[in-house]
């Protein structure tokens, strides 16, 4: 009996690569960051973004990141032959992203000229207006990582200690009152973040996936389940389909609570998969 032919409507991966991605957890240790993007305090790696883009889209699809930072998702889209659009609130990061994108296009040569890759300075809360005014096409896949509440303002955050001694490195995103990373009230942060993503539904193709990379938060001796709360709240607009857990195993352990209390070293993020249905 001959094997049944499978029509792959989602991506261009062979069955073995498809199955490999379906594993619910993975280890990914980002390569060292290039100097020109070090200013951003919480950049996610292009190498990780490429894996998700390759699975959830086909060549020439439209990838969108409404909180683009220094352009990781857009660069990953370029490298995989997709079109990409992004929005970034901080003008300094937006300019860095444009420089990174231009350098990436140059390094890819003619292979990149056929694919649009544009980043606009603006507020993700105004995505509908920005998409309309700049004629962003219907989005085939949304990949982004929102602020982890106001954690970058926490002086005890381990990732911030070394950055405070470097004048050219930011320890938080901006002073802009529209920056969600500056909201002190947790409930307000959740409401505003969920509202921003839900309002993007009209520009996202029916059946398209959305991947949000988030993390639960420890603050003041309490855990805030940002990943799970966002999954529940946003699930009212886009059904939550699954999660992948991104683990890092190259981080240095710190002796939190040693000899006194259980406090874990948290080296994992949740990659939440929603679908616009």
Sequential pLDDT tens for the chain (277 residues): 556 667 899 999 999 999 999 999 999 988 775 655 444 445 678 999 999 999 999 999 999 999 999 999 999 999 999 999 999 999 999 999 999 999 999 888 866 666 789 999 999 999 999 999 999 999 999 999 998 886 765 665 544 455 344 455 554 445 777 788 888 899 999 999 999 999 999 999 999 999 999 999 888 888 999 999 999 999 999 999 999 999 999 888 989 889 999 888 999 999 999 999 9
Asked if the structure places residue 17 within a domain, the reply is: no
4 domain residue, yes or no: no
Q: Which two three-digit tokens encode residue 210? A: 């959305």
Give dist(CA 202, CA 14) in Å, integer: 32
Q: Tell whether 77 is covered by a domain.
A: yes
Residues contacting residue 213 through CB under 8 Å, at least 6 positions apart = 44, 143, 144, 145, 246, 269, 270, 271, 272
Q: Which domain holds residue 268?
A: 35-250+264-275
Residue 175 counted as domain residue: yes
Using a 10 angstrom Cβ sphere, with 0-12 exposed, 13-18 middle and 19 or more buried, the burial of residue 202 is: exposed
The structure tokens 């594993």 sit at 23
Q: Which residues 6+ apart lie within 8 Å of 222 measured at CB?
A: none
The answer to the question of residue 30 being in a domain is no
Is position 28 within any domain? no
Residue 85 is assigned to a structural domain of this protein: yes
Q: What is the CATH number of the domain that holds 138?
A: 3.40.50.150
- 193 falls within a domain: yes
Please calculate the CA angle 79-230-228 and round it to the nearest 5 degrees. Answer: 105
Q: How far apart are CA 277 and CA 274, in angstroms?
A: 9
Number of domains the chain contains = 1
């Amino acid at each position: 009996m001959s094997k049944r032919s499978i029509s792959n409507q989602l991506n261009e991966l062979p069955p073995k690569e498809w199955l490999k991605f379906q594993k619910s957890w993975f280890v990914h240790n980002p390569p060292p960051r290039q100097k020109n993007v070090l200013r951003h305090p919480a950049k996610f790696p292009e190498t990780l973004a490429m894996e998700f883009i390759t699975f959830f889209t086909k060549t020439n699809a439209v990838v969108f990141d409404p909180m683009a930072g220094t352009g990781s998702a857009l660069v990953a889209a370029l490298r995989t032959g997709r079109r990409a659009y992004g929005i970034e609130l901080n003008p300094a990061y937006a300019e860095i992203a444009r420089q990174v994108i231009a350098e990436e296009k140059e390094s890819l040569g003619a292979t990149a000229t056929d694919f649009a890759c544009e980043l606009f300075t603006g507020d993700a809360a105004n995505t509908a207006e920005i998409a309309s005014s700049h004629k962003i096409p219907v989005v085939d896949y949304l990949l982004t990582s929102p602020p982890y509440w106001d954690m970058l303002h926490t002086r005890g955050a381990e990732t911030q200690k070394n950055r405070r001694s470097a004048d050219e490195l930011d320890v938080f995103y901006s002073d802009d009152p529209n920056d969600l990373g500056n909201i002190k009230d947790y409930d307000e942060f959740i409401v505003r973040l969920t509202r921003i993503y839900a309002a993007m539904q009209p520009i996202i193709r029916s059946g398209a996936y959305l991947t949000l990379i988030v993390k639960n938060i420890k603050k003041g001796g309490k855990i805030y389940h940002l990943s799970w709360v966002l999954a529940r709240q946003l699930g009212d607009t886009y059904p939550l389909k699954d999660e992948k857990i991104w683990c890092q195993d190259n981080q240095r352990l710190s002796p939190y609570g040693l000899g006194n209390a259980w406090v874990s070293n948290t080296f994992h993020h949740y990659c939440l998969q929603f679908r616009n249905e």
